[in-house]
Amino acid sequence: MSVLRVTRTDTIVDVRLYRPDKANALSQQMLMEFDVLTDALMRGTGIGEGARAVVLSGEGGRAFSAGNDITSLQGLSASEATQQMLRGQEIFQRLEDCPQVTIAAIDGVALGGGLELAMACDIRVASPTSRLGQPEITLANIPGWGGTQRLPRLIGEGRAIELILTGELVDAARAEQIGLVNRVTDDPVATAHQLASAIAAKAPTAVDEALKAVYAGARHGIVHGLLVEARGVGTCCTTPEQREAVQAFLDRKKPSTPKETV
């Protein structure tokens, strides 16, 4: 049975982590299903064809995801553990790279790999009772699916190091304060859908190029980011949507023709 429930409404893809009895822990089967899904989103095939936004949530109301299924790490050699982490990193990176905007709707805990999955999304919204963190240190380990890289990018190096080294969890209000989530809302799924609909209504090339530019700078520095930004503007200028929008704007700004006098 599938552990990702994937549905589509118009241009928005809904992805629900479905292991409620395990707090939606990320099993190897779930990673395989994410692998297939992110490939379709990147290629724009299957459920990804014409998709403009993706909303991720967890089944059950008590957890977005409690993290990696701990049993999958039991008894691994260093090489096996490394390969498992690299595989998860690759899948999460594809999620970050996909041209659709991705929004994590967090209701309940987002811990370890669950938080790393949410951080691979472009936007995060959370319910007031949510708790987030990277508690791997309490199991004598470290985040392995991007937490050491994305957490500092979102909340700053000092705060990220503190959370990673203490394993401390933060509540939703604190997560919003430090920039780990964008919004706190009573219904994160509904809010995520509102955001998804608003962004899906924008020109797709502009959304894609904006995301590329933001992440290019975050990964490779401002010089490279500025180059990607400039090229993105160039790409947008060739699209029918941009030309039509500019023309409509100019038409609204045209002065009215003065009446002839006799």
* pLDDT per residue as tens digits for the range 107-151: 999 999 999 999 999 999 999 999 999 999 999 999 999 999 999
pLDDT higher than 70, residue 260: no
User: pTM of the full predicted structure?
Assistant: 0.93
What distance in Å separates the CA atoms of residue 39 and residue 73, rounded to the nearest whole number? Answer: 25
| pLDDT score recorded for residue 113 | 97
Contact of 25 with 58, CB cutoff 8 Å: no
- Residue 136 bears catalytic tag: yes
What distance in Å separates the CA atoms of residue 254 and residue 252, rounded to the nearest whole number? Answer: 6
- Residue 168 bears catalytic tag: no
Residue-by-residue DSSP string for 97-123: HSSSEEEEEE-SEEETHHHHHHHTSSE
Q: What percent of the chain has pLDDT over 90?
A: 91
Catalytic residue among 136, 176, 209, 229: 136
Catalytic residue among 59, 116, 176, 209: 116
| pLDDT score recorded for residue 261 | 44
According to DSSP, residue 256 is labeled P
Q: Which amino acid is at 18?
A: Y
